[in-house]
Amino acid sequence: MTDREYDVVVVGSGAAGMTAALAAAHHGLRAVLIEKAAHYGGSTARSGGGVWIPGNKALEASGRPDDREEARRYLHSIIGDVVPKEKIDTYIDRGAEAFDFVLDHSPLQMTWVPGYSDYHPEAPGGLGSGRSCEPKPFDLKVLGAEAAKLEPPYAKAPLNVVVMQADFVRLNLIRRHPKGMMRAMRVGARTYLAKFTGKHIVGMGQAIIAAMRKGLMDANVPVLLDTPLTKLITDGDRVVGVEATVDGEPTIFKARYGVVLGTGGFEHNARCASSTSASPSPPSGPRARRPIPVTASGPAWRSAATSVSWRTPGGGRPSSRAASRGSRWPSAICPARSW
| Pair 39, 151: CB distance under 8 Å | yes
C-alpha distances (whole Å) from 132 to each of 51, 78, 111, 121, 128 are 6, 17, 9, 12, 11
Q: Answer whether residue 176 shows pLDDT above 70.
A: yes
Show the beta-strand stretches assigned E in the chain.
2-11, 31-34, 51-52, 110-112, 132-135, 138-139, 201-202, 223-224, 229-235, 238-246, 249-261, 309-310, 319-320
Strand partners, 232: 242
Q: Answer whether residue 69 shows pLDDT above 70.
A: yes
The mean predicted confidence, pLDDT, of the chain is 86
Q: What angle do CA 12, 15, 19 make, to 5 degrees?
A: 90
Domains and CATH numbers, the chain: 1-38+225-273 (3.50.50.60), 39-224 (3.50.50.60)
Q: For residue 324, give every residue at least 6 positions away whose Cβ sits within 8 Å of its Cβ, in sequence order, or none.
A: 334
Q: Answer whether residue 3 shows pLDDT above 60.
A: yes
| Pair 251, 258: CB distance under 8 Å | no
| Pair 24, 274: CB distance under 8 Å | no
Q: pLDDT tens digits, residue range 88-113? A: 999 999 999 999 999 999 999 999 99
DSSP string, 141-204: GGGGGGGGGBPPPSS---TT----HHHHHHHTTTTT-HHHHHHHHHHHHHHHHHHHTT--EE-H
CA-nearest of 17, 3, 13 to 41 is: 13
Return the pLDDT at 58.
94
CA–CA gap between residue 157 and residue 119 (Å, rounded) = 28
pLDDT band at 268 (very low <50, low <70, confident <90, very high): low
Distance between start and end Cα atoms, the chain: 65
Q: pLDDT tens digits, residue range 236-263? A: 999 999 999 999 999 999 999 999 999 9
Strand partners, 309: 320
CA–CA gap between residue 113 and residue 168 (Å, rounded) = 11
Helix (H) or strand (E) holding 18: helix 15-26
Return the pLDDT at 101.
97
Percent of the chain surpassing pLDDT 70? 78
CB crowding 31-66: b at 16 or more within 10 Å, else e = bbbbbbeebbbbbbbbbebbbbbbbbebbeeeebeb
SS3 129: coil
Least confident residue range of 117-126, 172-181, 226-235 = 172-181
* Average pLDDT for 116-123: 94
Return the pLDDT at 36.
96
Q: For residue 224, give every residue at least 6 positions away whose Cβ sits within 8 Å of its Cβ, in sequence order, or none.
A: 32, 33, 34, 35, 246
* Average pLDDT for 202-231: 97
Return the pLDDT at 172.
82
* Average pLDDT for 265-279: 66
* Average pLDDT for 261-289: 62
The pTM of the full predicted model, rounded to 2 decimals, is 0.83
Q: Answer whether residue 285 shows pLDDT above 60.
A: no
Q: pLDDT tens digits, residue range 291-322? A: 455 666 666 556 666 655 555 566 556 555 54
CA–CA gap between residue 126 and residue 73 (Å, rounded) = 8
